[in-house]
Copies of this chain bind each other. A is one copy, B any other.
Amino acid sequence: MLLHLQKSDMKFCSECAHPVSLKIPPDDSHLRFVCDRCHTIHYQNPKVVVGSIPVWDQEGKIKILLCRRAIEPRYGYWTLPAGFMENGETTSQAAMRETREESGANIELHELFSLLNVPHVDQVHLFYRATLLDLNYLAGTESLEVALFSESEIPWDEIAFLTSYHTLKFFFSEATSPETVTPSRLYCHDILRPLNLKNL
């Protein structure tokens, strides 16, 4: 999960290189960066982070694939495979791509399981339920290691982000065996207050 906080301020117009000012344009209600020369309005909007919950059926017991982060923020902490959605792709394509990039896992993607708002970092996180198809996973460049965990084995104190933490908690609140993993609803949750950890 490459969660580089992108700087939300801008100094120069990307259209004409003139300095920009922060102002509320006519018929608008929000402060925007506006070019003082060519008058381009530079809108900034939340980003979508998409990932998966890769489920492995180990003799009737649920195991989940987690990645240990090889990058900041939260280097060394564990997360569900996820990352920023790219232009030109769908949310499910993004979930497949990020899972493959970070964990090398071959998955079958199922329904959208959770939607979590993180307004203090201008992000919306989406996690899809998935079936891990084999054990040929391999840590990508953004992961130190990739491993399977049962509910009791998950390092709950070492989860990188509250979005992964809540998604895992929601998942195990319903799924007790591989036969009960089909959820009856979409889990939505707003993370309205940062803890004392940057960008959690």
Using a CB–CB cutoff of 8 Å, the interface residues on chain A facing chain B are 6-8, 10-17, 20, 27, 29-30, 42-48, 84-93, 101, 111-112, 115, 117, 119-120, 122, 124, 141, 186, 188, 190, 192
With a 10 A CB-CB cut-off, give which of A16, A87, A93, A192 has the most chain B CB atoms. A87
A123 CB → nearest B CB, Å: 10
Would B6 and A10 count as touching, CB distance under 8 A?
A: no
Q: Are B44 and A46 in contact (CB under 8 A)?
A: no
Known: A12-B15, A43-B6, A45-B47. A87 touches B117 (CB 8 A): no
Known contacts being A10-B15, A91-B117, A186-B186, is A43 close to B84, with CB within 8 Å? yes
Q: Is the CB of A115 within 8 A of B86?
A: no
Given contacts A48-B124, A86-B45, A119-B89, contact A186 B111 (CB under 8 A): yes
